[in-house]
Structure 1
Amino acid sequence: MDRLEAMAMLVSSVELGSLSAAARRMRIPVSTLTRNVNDLEALLGTKLLVRTTRKLTLTDAGNEYVAAAKQILEQVDEQERRAAGEFQTPRGELVVATPVQVARLRVLTVIDQFLAQYPDVRIRLLQSDRNVDLVDAHADVAIRIGRLRDSSLVATRIGALRVVVVASPGVLEKHGGPETPEDLRDFPCAVFDSPYLSPWRFRNPGAEETFTVAVVPRLLVLSPDAAVDAAIDGIGATLVLEHDVAEAVKAGKLQYILQAYEVEPLPVHLVHISRHIMPAKLRHFIDFAVPKLRAELASFGRTPEI
């Protein structure tokens, strides 16, 4: 039994809540993982895990051991990176997680410039409109839209984005413009199913409290591009982020509506896990990307004057 490997298997099992999930992450048979955890318990002469059909529970000894094992594994990983020169020279793979549309509109250009400047770095881009768990995804850094919930992450604000409702001139001429958010209940709508935009939220002028409106979608989509295209094609109004529709509004294909009821712009942060020593590839990427992304988002996030 390799004791460090067994520690990693144990820690992964606890983090994911099951031996089978840990085996899938580590790409090994469940029997191999189970045998190593059993051997570790035999070596220590104590029970670390209580296994039932539904969940794993740590014993008191297991709690202490897993906490120590995490520190040991982090220190080993750190020293291996240092020995490989990763803490002195930017090199190796950098995993960046970002919402799909933010990647397309804002991040890819910055990544292209970064790669041109740092030829020994490779980037793997994880694009998802659901917040990716940095630990589970083995991601180094992520861009998050909305209020941050995980206080353990180190966050750098890079801007904000307005949440806007738009509709095509044709739809507004046919149905008349909604005067209040409640009017949207009887208005044709194309809805982007998003973790940071659903449900549709508004704020009365001059008020701090927000409220939601339950719209009935004529079309439900999973990407902002599809929602914007549907709105342009006359399916109905849609609620998206300002940068998703800026070009269409400028071209006269869509119009902002209900601007007086907009909520506060959503903050946009670049986040990463706190580390004692940061790898050079991550440190250089943050230093490189933050000012460029702030410049990219500088024209957005201002509440309109009505």
Structure 2
Amino acid sequence: MDQLFTLRTFVAVARQGSFSGASRKLRISPSVATRAIAQLEERLGLALLVRTTRSVRLTERGQVYLERCQRLLEDLDEADRRVRGEDAEPRGELSLSAPIVFGRLHVLPLVQKLLAAHPALSIRLHLSDRNEHLVEEGIDAAVRLGDLKDSGLIALKVGTVRRVLVASPHYLKRKGTPQSPTELIRHELIAFENLDATNEWRFGEREKPVRVQPRLILNNADAAIAAADRGLGIARMLSYQVADAVLAGRLVLLLGAFAPPPVPVSVIYPGRRSASANVGAFVRTARSHFEEHPLLPVEAWRPARRDSRAK
């Protein structure tokens, strides 16, 4: 079996933590992946992976080998990109990552444009509210919301969004509308745990953080929005996540005067991917798309007016 193929299979199994996940990523059968790892371990004369019925994990030597293999494959991919040139036609697979709702609303249009413009390109879009490590997960580029740590990644800011509070008209009729952040302690609250790591909600610079005790905590933005829509309480979300519901009148923005600073939206990618024709095409398309269709600030939202004559 080709040695380069076995190395790519080993890296995929290690990253995915399973043979089935690696086989789906590489588009091969699990039996082929299993045989490739077995041949690799036989050639090296040592075990790289510890297999259980539920998971696959690296041995100590496997971890060292993984780091070397990743560096080797990165160098090979970089050589391919450079020999093709930065202006080469995008081809092969481009792996992208984005938050679930943002990806559905704003990254899928980019994917549509890329696939239409580059027939030889295929795209794997992974939507998750967990921030994956790009290199370890084999991701070429990603969209990130929030301040970025100095990680050596290249970042292109494409817009901003805001943390907002929303509730349904039915809930506000039943419980009243809070006039200041301190009044939130008397309300039923819904928390989206991927947005706030603690139960301390922060607002404008002049406002003290409010310690809250949510009655409902969810790890999915769509579910949190649905809960607010059902009148279960006041939800803290990002503006783009609730724009449609607010504009349709299903949810109402609250405490806008106390809004915290905006949250940056960035396209990020490893510096070693800068010569990639695929990544370059995605970055250029993203920059152009968000220039033509900027993320609309909350202040510019214009809810549809209802006919006053309607009964």
Q: For this structure pair, what is the TM-score category when the shorter chain's length is used for normalisation?
A: 0.7 to 0.9
State the Cα distance separating 1:166 from its structure 2 match. 1.0
Counterpart pick for 2:280 among 280, 283, 286: 283
- Equivalent positions of 1:63-142 (< 5 A) are 70-80=70-80, 88-142=88-142
Residue-pair matches, total: 289
> What is the aligned partner in structure 1 of residue 40 from structure 2?
36
Shift of the alpha carbon at 1:178?
2.3
2:253 alignment partner in structure 1? 256
Cα deviation for residue 84 of structure 1 reads 7.4
Quick one: structure 1 residues 125 and 35, their matched pair in 2 at CA, closer, same or farther if it must change by over 3 Å?
closer
1:214 correspondence with 2:213: yes
TM-superposed CA distance for 1:66, in Å, is: 7.1
Query: What percentage of aligned pairs have identical amino acids?
Result: 30
CA shift digits 1:47-91 (9 cap, x unpaired):
999x9x9974469xx96x876655433232333456778971112
User: What letter is aligned with 2:264?
Assistant: P
SS of aligned partner of 2:135: coil
1:219-238 alignment to 2 at 5 Å? Answer: 220-238=217-235
Residue among 264, 270, 279 paired with 2:267: 270
1:300 and 1:234 map into 2 onto residues whose CA distance is 25
Taking structure 1 as reference, are residues 169 and 294 closer, same or farther at Cα in structure 2, changes over 3 Å only?
same
In structure 1, the partner of 2:195 is 196
Distance 2:89 2:167 in 1: 50
> What 5-or-longer segments of structure 1 have no aligned partner?
none
Counterpart of 2:233 in structure 1: which amino acid?
G
Distance 2:177 2:232 in 1: 14
When normalised by structure 2's length, the TM-score is: 0.73
8 Å contact from structure 2 (residues 82, 275) kept in 1 = no
**Residue 115 (structure 1) shift:** 2.0
- State the 1:224 CA deviation: 2.5
Residue 142 of structure 1 and its aligned partner are, at CA, apart by 0.8
Instruction: Calculate the aligned-residue CA RMSD, in Å.
Output: 3.9
Change in 2 beyond 3 A, CA 1:190/1:196: closer
| TM-score (norm: length of structure 1) | 0.74
Structure 2, gaps ≥5 residues long: 24-29, 302-311
CA displacement at 1:188 relative to structure 2: 2.2
Query: What is the identity, as a one-letter code, of the residue corresponding to 1:268?
Result: V
**Per-residue CA distance 1:75-123 (angstroms, 9 max, x = gap):** 3233345677897111222122111111222122222223222222222
1:207 is displaced (CA, Å) by: 2.9
Find the counterpart in structure 2 of residue 151 from structure 1.
Answer: 151
Instruction: Give the Cα separation in 2 of the matches to 1:210 and 1:203.
Output: 5
Q: Which amino acid aligns with 2:239?
A: E
SS state at 2:241 partner: helix
Letter in 1 for 2:213: A
C-alpha displacement at 1:210, in angstroms? 4.5
SS of residue matched to 2:272 = coil
Could you say what secondary structure the match of 1:234 adopts? coil
Distance 1:267 1:86 in 2: 28
Report the CA distance shift for 1:211/1:275 in structure 2 as closer, same or farther (over 3 A).
farther
What is residue 163 of structure 1 aligned with on the other side?
163
* Aligned mates of 1:32, 1:117 — CA distance in 2: 36
Aligned-pair CA distance for 1:270: 0.7
